Amino acid sequence: MAQQVSSITKRVLAKQMARRFGMSLRNAYTHTYTELNESLIPGGIVEQDGAVPATRGPRIFQLDGVPCFRLSGLGMLLACCLDEIDIDRRALLFRQYLDSDRSWRRDPRKDELLSHLKAYPEFTLELLKHGASQYLEGKADHPLSAFPTRKRKSPAST
């Protein structure tokens, strides 16, 4: 799902898992359904992103459509910590998060984080991984709180 740009349905995600891990589609769908409904959606890592119209299948899907899911902002940050994804893709996800999150659009630390990511991508992503583990353990408010904040001198005080 971290490799996807757009949203996908549970069935498409299950097919990708079955193909990648060599398991049956039935088992993959069961695992996908369980993980999404019990962990990822309540944890805010994945969010529902619209629905695809259905012409066949259960009546409820014909009326409401098949729900699609995508990574939330938190999910994008946590995906940046996965070693299974190559470092260039993880850095791209981190840049996308900083560009898409409203709270970071005008934050002065954004440029600092982006330049740090460009110069030292492994270290920056390792620091993010540490912040994510602190967040998941309940020791931090946000995965990016692990990044040190530099106090800047205002031009008027010099």
In 66-146, where does DSSP find H-type helix?
Answer: 73-79, 87-100, 102-105, 109-119, 121-136
Rounded distance between C-alpha atoms, residue 147 and residue 111, angstroms: 13
Q: Are 48 and 67 in contact (CB under 8 A)?
A: yes
Q: What is the pTM of this model?
A: 0.74
Q: Tens digits of per-residue pLDDT, 121-151?
A: 999 899 999 988 998 888 888 888 877 766 5
Q: Tens digits of per-residue pLDDT, 16-54?
A: 989 988 999 999 999 999 999 998 899 888 998 888 887
The answer for residues whose C-beta is within 8 angstroms of residue 17's C-beta and 6 or more apart is 23, 28, 31, 32
Q: Could you tell me the residue ranges of all domains in the chain?
A: 8-71, 74-146
Give me the pLDDT at residue 105, please.
74
